[in-house]
């Protein structure tokens, strides 16, 4: 059962990373999206920086929780590799 949960979490994280990557590529290569991103940054730079850093913080916390749970499972011998 634990390996199923790990697989589900990994699939969700993979989908999330793919969606975020596509979003960043749209901002880089689509001129209108680049203009919107720059306008948002110039409108309120302090809010933009705070939002970026809090998002990064939460993403890092998710990764830390994920890796910690994998380590705990590995030390308790709950994970088997076929």
The pLDDT, as a whole number, for residue 42 is: 92
Say if 60 falls within a structural domain: yes
The pLDDT, as a whole number, for residue 60 is: 81
Q: Are 3 and 76 in contact (CB under 8 A)?
A: no
The pLDDT, as a whole number, for residue 80 is: 67
What is the total count of domains within the chain? 1
Over the stretch 5-15, which tens digit does the pLDDT of each residue have? 777 877 887 78
The pLDDT, as a whole number, for residue 1 is: 65
The pLDDT, as a whole number, for residue 14 is: 78
Domain carrying residue 65: 2-75
The segments of the chain whose pLDDT lies below 50 read: none
The pLDDT, as a whole number, for residue 52 is: 81
Q: Name the percent of the chain in helix, strand, coil, to the closest 5.
A: 90, 0, 10
Say if 29 falls within a structural domain: yes
Say if 44 falls within a structural domain: yes
Say if 82 falls within a structural domain: no
Say if 64 falls within a structural domain: yes
């Amino acid at each position: 059962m634990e390996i199923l949960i790990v697989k589900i979490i990994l699939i969700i994280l993979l989908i999330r990373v793919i969606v975020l990557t596509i979003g960043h590529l749209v901002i880089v290569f689509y001129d209108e999206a680049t203009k919107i991103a720059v306008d948002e940054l110039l409108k309120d730079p302090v809010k933009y920086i705070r939002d970026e850093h809090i998002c990064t913080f939460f993403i890092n916390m998710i990764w830390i929780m994920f890796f910690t749970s994998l380590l705990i499972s590995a030390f308790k011998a709950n994970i088997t590799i076929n």
